[in-house]
Every structure is written in C-alpha cells, then in structure tokens.
A and B are shown apart, each in its own frame.
Chain A
Amino acid sequence: QQQVKQSPQSLIVQKGGISIINCAYENTAFDYFPWYQQFPGKGPALLIAIRPDVSEKKEGRFTISFNKSAKQFSLHIMDSQPGDSATYFCAATRASNTGKLIFGQGTTLQVKP
C-alpha cells in the first residue's frame, strides 16, 4: 500500500520531442505528489508538485497530469532539450504527513540532440 511504481526505467527522446514518465500509487490517502530532477552526482531538486484537487499543473515545459480514479500521475516534458537529460523521481505522501515521501524507482531520461 505504500509503494509508488514508476515507469519506464529509462527513456530516450529526440530533441524537441515529448518525454512522458508515469507513476502509480496504491494508498488512497496520498494527497501530495512531487516530481524531483536529479543530475549525476547531485542531490535531487524539486521540479513540480500537484495535489489531487486539480487534474493538471503546468510550469513552463513541465506538466503533471493526475488521474485520481486510476491512482496514476505522469510528468510530461514538452520540447525536450539535451539539458533535461537527468533522472526523474516521482513521489507521494499525505500532505498532513511528517514529510515521509515515498519515492518511485526513478527514470533516466536521455535527450538526444
């Protein structure tokens, strides 16, 4: 019930294309879903987050889509750039929780020029 499953494990996209990463969760009590971006040898950085009262949130080229009934959420990177090449982690938690984020396994994105 605490797992967050992320797919695909790795992804290769051409420059200018759309990158899509999917996550699924089981615990219906989860109500905060952040995405983190991590470059090699660095710590993750918060990219964008969504709460289940909205179905989509957009920040620049990054969009989270949320499907509450399916217990799934996804990250879309529009007009993908080589600089977007990184590992992306989804996470889930209860907004009222103590900061105990449950992370997905990560997706390594490579954007080819």
Chain B
Amino acid sequence: DGGITQSPKYLFRKEGQNVTLSCEQNLNHDAMYWYRQDPGQGLRLIYYSQIVNDFQKGDIAEGYSVSREKKESFPLTVTSAQKNPTAFYLCASSKDRVTYNEQFFGPGTRLTVL
C-alpha cells in the first residue's frame, strides 16, 4: 500500500529534551512538509522540502530542525529551544512541481511535553 507513515503515534517528552518525529512516504513524491496543529487553529507550516538535501523554513521554524537525506524520509526534530512543543504534528507530501499544492497527509504524531 502506498502512503505516508508517521511514528510514533504518541510521544511524551520531558522539558529540555530533543525528540525526533519520523515521516516516511512510499509514494515517490518529490516534496514533503511538516505542519503543526493546535486546538482551534489551522495547520501551520514548519518546514518543507522539494528535493533531497534541500529544505526551507516555513512560518514557524524556530525551535525545529529537519533533514532530507533520502527522498522517502523527512524527519523532524523538536529541540529544547521550542517554547511550546505540545501539539499534533502532521507530515505531508506532494508529487511534483505541477502538483505541489495537492498534499497528502500522514496520520500524525501527538507530542506531549511533561
């Protein structure tokens, strides 16, 4: 089955710790994205990548880092510098430059900072 997988589904972290969220896709999509979702708010873009070894900051990149070493993988690290990291994190992908805006989402990872 083609799709986007995110792991883990739930993640708990102590304050001051870095944590990495996994995102893998087997859709052969060029572009991948990370969004953050908070209650009562829409999705906000953290980082995005259109090609391997290249990525750009979105609207709320502070306190986060990413890498794109493989086409199918786009892990997100939430660092201790992120002041309010508790949220639902969504990874998405889109096929190519013609269809960048047609984004397919993974099931999400709910991060809770204790």
Seen from chain A, the residues whose Cβ lies within 8 Å of a Cβ on chain B are 4, 6, 9, 32, 34, 36, 41-46, 49, 89, 91, 93, 95, 97-101, 103-106
Contacts and interface: CB of A to CB of B under 8 A. Distances in A.
Q: Is the interface of B mostly helix, strand, loop or mixed?
A: strand
B31, B41, B50, B103: which has the most chain A beta carbons within 10 Å? Answer: B103
Interface stretch (B12-20, B77-85, B104-112): B104-112
B30 to A, nearest CB: 10
A6 B105 CA distance: 21
Contacts of B58: 100
Contacts, number: 65
A9 B40 contact: yes
Interface string B44-58: 110010100000101
Interface residues of B, number: 25
B102 A104 contact: no
B22 to A, nearest CB: 14
B64 interface: no
B48 A99 contact: yes
Contacts of A105: 40-42
B41, B43, B58: which has the most chain A beta carbons within 10 Å? Answer: B43
Contacts of A44: 43, 90, 105
Contacts of A91: 42
